[in-house]
Structures are given as C-alpha cells and as structure tokens.
Amino acid sequence: MNGVLGETGVLMAFIGAVATIAVLGVGLTTRKPGIIRHGRSYGYVLLAGALLATFAMERALLTHDFSLAYVAANNSRETPLLFTITGMWSALQGSILLWGLVLSLFIVSLVIRTRRRPSDELPAWALLVTAVVAAFFFALMLGPANPFVHVSGAVPADGNGPNPLLQDNPLVAIHPLFLYLGFVGFTVPFAFALASLITNRLDDDWIVETRRWSLIAWGFLTVGIVLGAWWSYQVLGWGGYWAWDPVENAALLPWLAGTAYIHSSIAQQRRGIMRVWNISLIVSAFALTILGTFFTRSGILQSVHSFSDSSLGPFLLSFFFIVVGVSLALIAWRGDGLRSGRVVVPSLSRETAFFVNNILFTLFAFVVLLGTTFPLLVEAIKGAQVTVGAPFFDSFIEPLGIAILFFMAVAPLLPWQRTNRALIQRRLTWPAMAAALAVVVEVVAQVHSPGLIFAYPAAIFAGAAALRQAVVHTVYASRRKDGVFRILASRTNGAMLVHLAVVLVALALVSSTSYGQRGTLVLKPGQSATFDGHVFTYHGVQTVVTPAKTSLEALIAVDGSANLTPEVSQFGNNTEVVGTPAIRPGLIDDVYLTLDLPPKSSSAPATFGVVIQPLISWIWIAGGLMAFGTVIAAFGTRDVSPLESVEEADELSEKRADASAQPIQ
C-alpha cells in the first residue's frame, strides 16, 4: 500500500514537471498567454505528487512497514518517534525525496508569487527552468534513487534502525531541513538568471525579482551550516565544530557564491554594473549545490557526515556539467548585452569595494573547492590516495578572512561612484579608533600570533563600522519621526545586524581555535582534578536503559555544580559504541567532557577527555542573529528615504563642492 502510494506520487510529480515544461515551452514559443497560464497550473500537480510521496514514506516509517527496503534499512521498532520521522532524510533515497518536496514547494510559491503576471515571459521561463530541475530529481526517484523499492525475499520482523549518529541528537530533525531549504532555494534565482539570458532582458528586472528569493535561500543555508556545526560539536565527541570535512565544504561553497552575489547584486541595482559577475555568481551557487549533492550522496568522498553510498554519482555529475555548460553557452550568447553596462573604474568607491569583495569570495571558494577535490584528482591521475587537512585550508583562509572582514567594514561606508576623501575619513574615524584600541589591548595582553594580531582588529573594525551604520541610519529615521518599528525593522538595519553577527562568529572562531585547551583526566570515584581553572570531581558511573539504547553514563561535577554526564551508548542491535559528550555552555567558555575509556569496575579509574572552548557559544548566538537579520533584510520595511543615511545628504553637498571628484565612465 505505502509503496504503491509513494510510486504513484513520484510518477505524478514527474508528469507534473514534464507537463509544465512542455506546455510552457509551447506557450512561450508561440507567445500565447493562455497556454502559458495553463502551463503554470501544472506546478500544483507537481506539488500534489511530492506531497503524496512524502505522506507515503512517513506513513511507512511510522507504521514500521519493513516491506520497503528503505524502511527496513533506516527504521526499527525501538527507534524513538522523532528519529522515526527524521528517518526520511537519514539516507540517500529519502533525502532525494526531501529535495523534490522542497523544490516543489518553491515552484508553487513562484507560481503564486507571479500569478498576476501570467503572460510575462521572464517568470514563465524561470518556472520552466525550475520544472526541468524538478523533472531531473523525480526521474532519479523513478530509477536509481527509488525510495519505495520492496525488500527481496521475506519481510523482516524488525529493521536495522537509523545510523547511531543520526539518532543521538534532535538537531538531526532541523539541520538537514534548513540545509535543503538553502540548497534548493537557490534554484529560483538561478532560474531567473537563465530566464533573463533567454529573453535578453539583461537589465535589473531579474535582479529585483530574485532579491528576496536569494536572501531566503542564503538565510536558510546559513542557519543550516550553523546547525550542522552545532550538531558536530554536540554529537561527534571531538570538541570541535568545523574540520574542513568534504560534506561541510559542500555546504560552504554555495554559501560563499551566494554571499558574493547578494552583495554585488546591490551594485547592479544601484549602478548598473557587475552584470556578468551576478549571472556567473548565481549560476555558480546553484551549480555548487548540485556538486555538493554529488559529494554527499555518491559515496565518492569519505566523510563522517556522509551516510550513503550509491550509484547516483554519474547522474549528478552529468547534471552538474549540463547546468554549467548550458549556462556558459547562454552567457556567451548574450555577452555583448551583458557587457553593455557600466564598468568599475578603480577608485575609493563602494563599487570598487564590492568588486574586490567578489574576488576575495571567489578565491575563498576556489581554495575550498581545490582542497575538497584534490584527493579525487590525484587518485584519478596517479591512483594514489592523499588527504588534504585543516592546515592547508587554514593557511589560505586566515588571510582571506581578514581581508573580507576589512572590506565588509569599508564597503558600506564608501560613497557610490566618486572618490571623496574627506567624507571617507569622517566615516572611518570611529571604526578606525575602535580597531586601534583593539591593537592596544593586544599589545598589553602580549598577543604574538600574526593571525591574531590582524584578526581581532579587523573584526572590531568591521563590527564598529556596522554598528555605526545602524546608529546613523536609526538617528536619521528618528529625525523624520518615523515609527519605532519602521526604524528598527528597516532593511538596512537587518543587513547591519547580519554584519554584526558575522563579526561575532569571527571573534568566536579566532578565540576558540587560538585559546582552546585540551587535556585528559584519569580519575577514580571521589577523586578531583583541576584543568584550566576548572575543578572536576568524578562520582562514578551508572547504566541507563531505554527502548532505543543502553548507555553508560559517568557523573562528573564541574566547579561544584550539578553533574555532567558524558556517556557511551549502544543503539538497539547495533554493536557499534557511540560516545556522547557532555557540555556545560557559557558566555565566557564551554566545558566539554567525553568518556574516552570507561572504568573496568565501579571502583576503577575512568579516562575523560576535557576541552575548554572560550566564546564558542557566541557562534550559535550569532547564527540566530544572522537568521533574524536576514528576515528583516528580506521582509523588513523599505528604508525611510532613498538616502541611505544622514551622511548621504552630506555626501551630496560634498560632491557639489568637490569639483575634482571623477565619476565612473
């Protein structure tokens, strides 16, 4: 029953996608609005099929229908309800179904959003492109990634259950969802970019159309990455949160391209520049989501975050090359039109800062992509296996990150189009003084690391610049006697809140990696030890049995407070022992404990790993602030004036007085 329903839903969704492509294609080539309007309605058929298939899969999981191979491999009768539900995206076929569901939701949202423009070719072509992507993923589910295949032979009485790492923390319920909403969300701006090339509407229309879609996708992906780091920190027991793992990098790559696009799209809207950059960046963001899916779902790269090994690799890689090839062909076809806009002339202007920012993000992405794919290239060419570790990434990313922080601070403070040194000096005074104060503090604290010497002042400089912009904008709005909500919820303040959150992340990353302490404690029951200023007292172990797992918990008091309970567990019939750390979070530092070697008897010593991580909790706080700021930037009130701040008025007067200021040609 569940299998029949699921396969019917997948087939319905595939037919809906193909019908959308065919009918829209006919309507667009014949320029008949009635046919275009009819073609748009098939998006609802696509969504209905995706919902039916999702319902069938969740029903199979909840009823423990082990006649389906996917359910038998990723569910058991002892699996808790939460992890039974999340079993849908715990392995390959279910995760592809989740991708199809999310994409169908975005497609219908696009249909609804553009319903009052049924004959407009730009959104119609964009919808056709999204339907092509949907047809590809539902075709996978009709073939090699079918989630509704029946088991061969007798139906088992019980299933294997999810991977132990996927039923040890509730973050598995939301981290993949946000990640997929971000990945799939970039399909819509990508589709509008291709639609603009196809229709030769290369002005700012498609940029305006995709502003909110891009921010939504970027926001979801940001939260997904932060939640993934938090999940890694809480589950894997190594005390870290980012290891430059291939799957981590697969999520970071489209985020980098999307971040660059969001910033440079502002330059196109305001000055009509960076057209080629914007098309290329949004195509890259989408293409990198497909490449990331190839990394995570083909089994070609070994990763602690990858839970599947399949034959999908050639299909995903072929689709990636098709996306890149078609996009490049369209860009070449419309090359003259794309280059007809203004160009960036090097100067102390916001355009130049955005241009440099794009180069930095591109270099960042190239380093990450090179380090991720280099082992594959070496194995393909020489047959040897190599690994690329954190030192490679850190050696490049540290200077790039500092440079990005600097230009993140400078760009919003620079004027558009003209070089005005007096205005720039006035705007940079307070941020520069804050950075200078950070240098003084470093000298007093005897900070010697070259990375830290530049990282802290750069972060403080960027934070002070963002704070200054928010304050100036708020003061200007208050002078106009606008409402408090309109002032605080303006898009400019949302963007500056995101910038402040990025600064918090940078400060937390630098502090936790540079000043974190790791050690080992061997303690007998009743024995205490001191590590990095904290007192640890071991009180023994206890066994905790639940229907899902059997755990051995150690009881350790930290600084005389309530016990932390690091544990090792076995899930169901799985013989693999999984360690779960215990964490005492704090705004100053986190105390992180793992049970590395359980005691052989109740009176024997146990071995514990201990990690003290300064400021790490601010990463998770900053992730929430970034999400909140993105919502304000996407849905907040329009800025109270076309002037970005009170100093934009000053800029106008400065321009009139500064006869030597030269505009961009």
DSSP letters of 27-47?
HHHHT-HHHHHHHHTHHHHHH
61, 85 in Cβ contact below 8 A?
yes
Cα(623)–Cα(215) distance, integer angstroms: 15
The two beta strands, 582-584 and 589-597, are antiparallel
Give φ, ψ of 522 to 5 degrees.
-115, 110
261 contacts: CB under 8 Å, gap ≥ 6: 189, 214, 278, 281, 282, 285
Confidence band (pLDDT; 50, 70, 90) for 646? very low
Instruction: Please give the helix or strand (H or E) that residue 213 lies within, else none.
Output: helix 205-235
Cα(159)–Cα(6) distance, integer angstroms: 20
Instruction: Please give the helix or strand (H or E) that residue 542 lies within, else none.
Output: strand 534-545
400 contacts: CB under 8 Å, gap ≥ 6: 360, 363, 364, 367
DSSP label of 577: E
**Residue 43 burial (10 A CB sphere; 0-12, 13-18, 19+):** buried
387, 441 in Cβ contact below 8 A?
no
Report residue 361 as tokens: 């993000």
Cα(201)–Cα(183) distance, integer angstroms: 26
Confidence band (pLDDT; 50, 70, 90) for 27? very high
pTM for the predicted model, two decimal places? 0.91
pLDDT for 321 equals: 95
**Residue linked to tokens 């701006």:** 189
Query: What average pLDDT does the segment 294-315 reach?
Result: 68
Query: What average pLDDT does the segment 319-323 reach?
Result: 95
Instruction: Please give the helix or strand (H or E) that residue 434 lies within, else none.
Output: helix 421-444
Instruction: Please give the helix or strand (H or E) that residue 556 lies within, else none.
Output: strand 549-558
Judge whether residue 546 has pLDDT over 50.
yes
> Does 76 or 129 have the greater pLDDT score?
129
pLDDT for 11 equals: 97
Q: What is the pLDDT of residues 210-247, one digit of tens each?
A: 999 999 999 999 999 999 999 989 888 888 899 888 88
Q: What is the pLDDT of residues 149-192, one digit of tens each?
A: 999 888 998 888 888 878 878 888 899 999 999 999 999 999 99
Give φ, ψ of 544 to 5 degrees.
-120, 125
590, 617 in Cβ contact below 8 A?
yes
pLDDT for 336 equals: 83
Task: Find the range with the poorest average confidence among 22-26, 378-382, 434-438.
Answer: 378-382
Judge whether residue 657 has pLDDT over 60.
no
Give the DSSP letter string of 62-81: HTT-TTBHHHHHH--TTS-H
| Gyration radius of the chain's alpha carbons | 27
Give φ, ψ of 398 to 5 degrees.
-60, -55
Kindly report the length of the chain: 665
Judge whether residue 647 has pLDDT over 60.
no
DSSP label of 166: G
Average pLDDT, the chain: 87
Cα(610)–Cα(532) distance, integer angstroms: 10
CA 132, 135, 136: angle at the middle one, nearest 5? 90
Q: What is the pLDDT of residues 481-513, one digit of tens each?
A: 566 666 667 888 899 999 999 999 999 999 998
Q: What is the pLDDT of residues 186-219, one digit of tens each?
A: 999 999 999 999 999 988 888 988 999 999 999 9
pLDDT for 665 equals: 37
CA dihedral 5, 11, 17, 19 (to 10 degrees): -120
Judge whether residue 515 has pLDDT over 60.
yes
CA dihedral 611, 617, 620, 622 (to 10 degrees): -140
pLDDT for 480 equals: 63
